[in-house]
Structure 1
């Protein structure tokens, strides 16, 4: 039996190039784990679900990402100024971890879940990669982004996961 947020059914594929014949290939698929709405404790906005962990639940960047993964999510990806502003309006902390990081000083920053980079909002003189260890990013209360050492600072964080549309 399928639960809320699951899909089960038959899909028909037609291959019109199979030796000049019309071939009907029938496949059964099941999709599981895509929420139709956000779970309790998550905030919904534009097909995404957000969960905020304030400064009293601080963590290093790596531990924050692990906590998000344990909830089938990732640290938040910020796609535009509107989303950046929305997130700012939802937390009181001075800064929170977001899912923007790099593997080493020689790498480029990228979103943890692989979304192509189409928006940044770095603060003045950022990223400055201080002492080559500032490979993770926070969203500051000013709305600007700042790079920090991933393991030697603990901040609140925001997890994000997609919600099924319609």
Structure 2
């Protein structure tokens, strides 16, 4: 091999080496460009992501701000409502206390009214009782006065020789008096007394054996009410004509007041007298009144 051959080999090698270096440099440049493009793209993506994140954060902040504002409004409204409710509750409590006070006042007034009403009712009862007692007293005095007038009138006519033996229809004359022998629906003593008063008479008063014998003939076998009683004072018997007990025809052992309420007198079928419960019922009673002239 000649020298020219040896000299051409390094040149060729050098050329190849340079070419190789150029290719490698190009590759590095391309790689650099590629890396730069990748970094640029990545940076762009990161920037876009950051911008989106910033926008999202802004939206979140705005939403949060709106929510906070709404929540603040709700809390403020709730606080106002709570204050209103507390005020209403305080007012209701005050009203309840007022109502309780008024109820206590009304109860006290009702109690006072009830006491006053009881007092008025008691006064009315006492007044009614006093009025009835006075009425009965006046009635008895009038009956007594009327009887005295009739007796005086009878004595006057008798002294002038008049015959004073006139009796109303259904009445029987004996002596100076007329007698009505009541029979029918069984009556208590007070009912029999009222029946005689309705006939302008009174339950019979007996003052002699002759009068007793006359009444015995017309007596009922079941007993007959007569006008003798001890209603006012136990043991003090009084006739309806207020005359004293100057004659009596008590049965054996009578009056015995066998029961605490035996204060009225009944004439047995035999004519004997027996004290009996005034609430007992007899279907026979005798009324008397003065005969007219």
TM-score using structure 1 length = 0.72
| Deviation per residue, 1:81-124 (Å, 9 max, x gap) | 11111001123433100000011563511102202211011001
Cα deviation for residue 66 of structure 1 reads 0.6
Whether 1:162 aligns to 2:293 is: no
Change (3 A) 1:155 1:148: farther
Structure showing the higher helix proportion among its residues: 2
Distance in 1 between the 2:217 and 2:257 partners? 27
Give deviations 1:132-151, integer Å, cap 9, x for gaps. Answer: 21000011111210000001
Residue of structure 2 equivalent to 1:95:
223
For 2:174 and 2:220, the matched residues in 1 are separated by 19
What is the DSSP-based 3-state SS (H/G/I as helix, E as strand, rest coil) of the residue aligned with 2:282? coil
Contact 2:165 2:176 in 1 (8 A): no
- Runs of 4+ in structure 1 deviating by more than 2 angstroms, as ranges, are 91-94, 104-107, 152-155
Unaligned runs of 5+ in 1: 1-34
**For residues 270 and 221 of structure 2, what CA distance do their matches in structure 1 show?**
11
Instruction: Name 1:6's counterpart in structure 2.
Output: none
Indicate which of 211, 229, 232 corresponds to 1:83: 211
Work out which structure has the larger RCO, using CA pairs closer than 8 Å and 6 or more positions apart in sequence: 1
Give the paired residue count: 130
> CA separation in 1, counterparts of 2:186 and 2:234?
28
Cα distance in 2, alignment partners of residues 118 and 135 from structure 1: 19
**Contact 1:105 1:135 survives alignment (8 Å):** no
TM-score, reference length from structure 2: 0.42
What are the within-5 Å matches in structure 2 for residues 17-166 of structure 1? 37-54=166-183, 56-104=184-232, 106-164=234-292, 166=293
SS class of match (2:250):
coil
The separation in 2 between residues aligned to 1:48 and 1:57, in whole angstroms, is 25
Q: Say which one has the larger Rg.
A: 2
Contact 1:53/1:157 (CA < 8 Å) preserved in 2?
yes
